[in-house]
Amino acid sequence: MSAIATQFYPESEAARLRGLYGHLSGHALLEALVHNELGGQIMLSSSFGAESAVLLDLVATVDPTIPVIFLDTRRLFGETLRYQKTLTDHLGLEDVRIVHPEADTLLRLDPDDMLFNEDPDQCCHIRKVAPLDNIMNKMGNLGFKAWITGRKQFQATTRDALPVIEADVDFIKINPLADWTSEDIKQAFLARNLPPHPLVADGFKSIGCMPCTSRVAEGADPRSGRWAGRDKTECGIHVARRPSLSVV
């Protein structure tokens, strides 16, 4: 466990912050937390997916120097990689950190890039969970205490009770858009003239790795196009993190 984790208690801190700011959301929540509580100790992870521009825009207006972690799994759509560059420039984000899975691990465990079909959980682990865990441990050692996510209650039944502030193993998670609706997201895109992900117009409502992302029927659960046909709804990133993860 990182040194900071021995001195920092996410459960009690999350409870304290909920008592002070749990009634806020969106820009108001971020502004209060960044300027009153967590300046220099907060980061963001983003997939640069279908709805990501809204949260990234809020972060950029509060503090464009907040680190943004982008996981390039080596299986993303080309459109996502180009969108990441477009959106970074458009919003003036100053500290986007691109993280990749370890090349040796991919060569050993997924040499033909077909692990997604044989064992999607392990594929997500080596391409997403383990690389993110590695950088989060490093950032924890640097004193970062809070992690901003773009999760929302409406996205899936597994998220319908999501709070705006919660505790993870060694971080506080901040979910500024937790109580936003799909209409709120749509209106934010229009009000701020945010560039959309190019695949949204083609029917992709939640965008992850190319092999495990499909189009979604109008009115369906936005995440139903992720791992369609499988008993899987999350990649594992937002399952409570362990202090360290191994790749076997």
**Packing angle, helices 26-36 and 10-21, rounded to 10:** 120
209 is catalytic: no
Catalytic residue, chosen from 124, 209, 212, 235, is 235
Whether 62 and 94 have beta carbons less than 8 Å apart is answered as: no
Q: Apex CA 203: angle with CA 197 and CA 204, to 5°?
A: 55
**Where in the sequence numbering do the catalytic residues fall?**
235
